[in-house]
Structure 1
Amino acid sequence: MNIDQKYIQDKFIEYCEVDTRSYFESETVPTSVGQAELLQLLKQELLELGLSQISYSPKDAYLLGKIPATTSKKVTAIGFVAHVDTADYNSKNIKVRVHKNYDGRDIRLDKSHVLSSKQFPSLKKVIGHTLLTASGDTLLGADDKAGIAGALGMAKYLLSHPEIEHGDIWLAFGPDEEIGKGAARFDVKRFPVEFAYTLDNGDIGDIAYETFNAASATVTFAGTVVHPGEAYGLMVNAGLMANEFIAALPKDFVPEKSKGYDGFYLVTDFSGNVDQAMVNLIIRSFDTEDFLARKQFLKTLANKINAKYGKGRVKIEMRDQYKSPGDLIKQNPYVVNLVHHAYKQLNITAKHIPFRGGTDGDFISEKGIPTPNLFNGGANFHGPYEYVTIENMAKLSEVLVEISKLHVHLNDCRDETPLKR
């Protein structure tokens, strides 16, 4: 498959140089000017490539475009999704450096940062590739501009080869994924697909159909303040109640002791005095039943402290943040099994991995469109050591082409083999 690697490289570098960091506190849609700028550049690119039904909505800031079907068979439409924003690390004046035929040696990015295979062993897998990095004082933006470039490489290839049979393919480029706002706003009525894939992070061969279920909790404690010399039987110390609450949390259900499909509680903030105290924490779990039980545990713990110190001393407020798409996708295993068949055709080893965070696919799946995550071929995201290779982005393009081709032939005889971790 002759994917245009120069095109992918040129587009990736062009888009990385646009500052698209998102900002949670912003109320605009999208939350930064740079994201709007990049979405307009992408709109022009889709027009030049020849996609149809290109549309941009100021309400959700999603850019959509369709690669029209080339088959006469009745095939449902599929979609590929990537986000334009970057994380909360310096993204101003990004300078992309191209390291051709990477030889495995250390790369000095600047005076303070060295990209070394000793520190980052994943570099050993891309020896011989054309490696792209930033210059040490910014992130690169491979999360998720590598996904964008891979999707465009696929689009260019298919539109240049109309003899390849495929159904309708929709591309969706959206904002504010890093702050959890973008896909929550996405009007999926504009996205007429049966299922889709996000192209967000990950190594070649990865497929993640389960993410964390996520919630946050704010627990407040009300004390009674009296003079310490007269406190016997009267004082209630809010700070000590908060300490008691934290001490009662499971000792091993914490990030520093979790990996794979393990979840955790994380106390993110703790402040207080005798009069009042506050604990902020987050809850993460891959399993829906366990997630609900973990939330209930916190409520029960608050009730126990209230029973001990007096009704109304402890109040807890919870907010669900995102939901794993796993339950929905397990009911639609073809979405994942199709990827397995594509990987097999391309001699790629499939790896089911837990996505230890959230993706836009969480929100899109919750709206009824099963959306697991594939990969974009980069690594060390959200910081100065971020990198991706041209070959890995081109491999993503190949995978998307293969999925689109196979869907035509497997649509009528779907592989509904139950999914296993």
Structure 2
Amino acid sequence: MTTLIARFLRYVSFDTQSDHTLATCPSTPGQTVFAKQLQQELMSLNLDDVKLDGNGYLTARLPSNISTTVPAIGFIAHMDTAPDASGKDVNPQIINNYQGGDISLGHGEVLSPVMYPELNQLHGDTLITTDGSTLLGGDNKAGIAEIMTAMAYLQANPDIKHGDICIGFTPDEEIGRGADLFDVEGFNAQWAYTVDGGPVGELEFENFNASAATVICHGVNVHPGSAKDKMVNSMGIAAKFQAMMPADETPECTAGYEGFYHLNSMQTSVAKTTLSYIIRDFDSAGLAQRKAFMQQKVTELNAVLGCERVEVILSDSYNNMREMVEPHTHIIELAKQAMIECDIQPDIKPIRGGTDGARLSFMGLPCPNIFTGGYNFHGIHEFITVEGMEKSVRVIVRLAELTAKKYQ
């Protein structure tokens, strides 16, 4: 655990926040800096085929230590952190033997079991938190640390038999581009697991179908001193449109398999206001209905306004990987068995979001998702448990061993 913690704390010191406004890959130079550090570490572990390509994708292979041929499997994590909160100058705090109650993070922020009741299940654990000013970066540097630690453990314990294990670290997952330039054929795994989940036991092989909607409201700007009967304030139009959206179908009002509409940013002025939404639904027909609903509301609002002042641009982002993973049930069964043999109860649930694995599954690499031990990703209240991270390492090691046993 000491090595695992040290590795994680070192990784979160790298500022790797991705930026959707930039077209480069990786979108930010910090990801390349981090990738080069990881490249050196992979080489120091004497892994084979260590490669960092020009787009920031880092891959490597731990070669098989058995004479028979078994399927090569992969483990994948992403190097970037979310744009939702700063990932610069992360200052982790370690809370040993947490016994309940509020945790003062700093900067006036408190991590409280009143808001985050899952803390009540973590008494006695060691927590790694933020200092209240940045995110932690467990999403997904915990996954990277866990994969690296598992590979080091397998290298140090050759009595644990395994086939080829392929490692992949990707850029720009948080802005939806993590799989864009991933070389599935070159990766050469028959299936893989993203190590990008949350609390201990999470095992996920279905995710939202996702679309984006950009609603543009056009106004007319005139000097306010002479605006009577001339000015049309686009922000007022935008407010009317948002009021037409279902108030109980938002992220904060939904859970499980319930879809949502999420207004996640806006750019405003009198002349033009742009509303950026993400639309999510686990069912493809449900997503189509949601897109049609937004188009209908645009039509209705234009009818009220008496002219075409509102438009919507819809685009699809990713699909539910369930249809690509379910035909390969052995992948899920192996993960379940690995968890059970590590005294972990599998918690199979849908991902209320997306991972690289969703895209990769449609690119020919079935890729469910397993836990990291983290909570509250993308914000200043993010934290992770050391015990959860250690359990993730154990599951990765056991998955490698079980795969070899099954196919020898």
Match of residue 209 from structure 1? 205
Match of residue 39 from structure 2? 43
Of 212-221 and 360-369, the range deviating more from structure 2 = 212-221
Q: CA deviation at 1:48?
A: 1.2
Match of residue 175 from structure 1? 171
TM-score (norm 2): 0.87
Matched, 1:19 2:15: yes
Give distance in 2, aligned partners of 1:270 and 1:197. 38
Judged with a 3 Å threshold, the aligned counterparts in structure 2 of structure 1 residues 316 and 90 are, in CA distance, closer, same or farther, namely closer
Judged with a 3 Å threshold, the aligned counterparts in structure 2 of structure 1 residues 256 and 389 are, in CA distance, closer, same or farther, namely closer
Q: CA deviation at 1:246?
A: 5.1
Q: CA deviation at 1:374?
A: 0.7
Q: Any unmatched runs of 5+ in structure 2?
A: none
Match for residue 62 of structure 2 among 60, 67, 70: 67
Amino acid of the residue matched to residue 109 of structure 1? L
Judged with a 3 Å threshold, the aligned counterparts in structure 2 of structure 1 residues 92 and 348 are, in CA distance, closer, same or farther, namely same
Matched, 1:316 2:302: no
TM-score (norm 1): 0.85
Give distance in 1, aligned partners of 2:26 and 2:365. 23
Judged with a 3 Å threshold, the aligned counterparts in structure 2 of structure 1 residues 236 and 143 are, in CA distance, closer, same or farther, namely closer
Q: Is the 8 A contact 2:170 2:178 kept in 1?
A: yes
Q: CA deviation at 1:261?
A: 0.7
Q: CA deviation at 1:398?
A: 0.5
Matched, 1:401 2:400: no
Which runs of structure 2 are paired with 1:205-284 in the superposition (5 Å)? 205-220=201-216, 249-250=245-246, 252-268=248-264, 269=266, 279-284=275-280
Give distance in 1, aligned partners of 2:299 and 2:73. 47
Q: Is the 8 A contact 2:210 2:316 kept in 1?
A: yes
Q: CA deviation at 1:294?
A: 2.3
Give distance in 2, aligned partners of 1:237 and 1:119. 38
Q: Any unmatched runs of 5+ in structure 1?
A: 413-421
* SS of alignment partner, residue 30 of structure 1: coil
Can you list the C-alpha shifts for 1:116-141, whole angstroms capped at 9, x where unaligned?
Answer: 33443322333333322232322221
Match of residue 288 from structure 2? 292
Matched, 1:92 2:88: yes
Q: Is the 8 A contact 1:62 1:172 kept in 2?
A: yes
* SS of alignment partner, residue 313 of structure 2: strand
Of 124-133 and 35-44, the range deviating more from structure 2 = 124-133
Match for residue 329 of structure 2 among 326, 329, 333: 333
Can you list the C-alpha shifts for 1:233-275, whole angstroms capped at 9, x where unaligned?
Answer: xx999888767765654554333431111001234448687x8
Judged with a 3 Å threshold, the aligned counterparts in structure 2 of structure 1 residues 279 and 70 are, in CA distance, closer, same or farther, namely same
Match of residue 54 from structure 1? 50
Q: CA deviation at 1:203?
A: 0.8
Q: CA deviation at 1:54?
A: 0.6
Which runs of structure 2 are paired with 1:154-165 in the superposition (5 Å)? 154-165=150-161
Amino acid of the residue matched to residue 284 of structure 1? R
Q: CA deviation at 1:188?
A: 2.0
Q: CA deviation at 1:331?
A: 2.3
Amino acid of the residue matched to residue 164 of structure 1? I
RMSD after superposition: 3.1
Q: Is the 8 A contact 2:342 2:391 kept in 1?
A: no
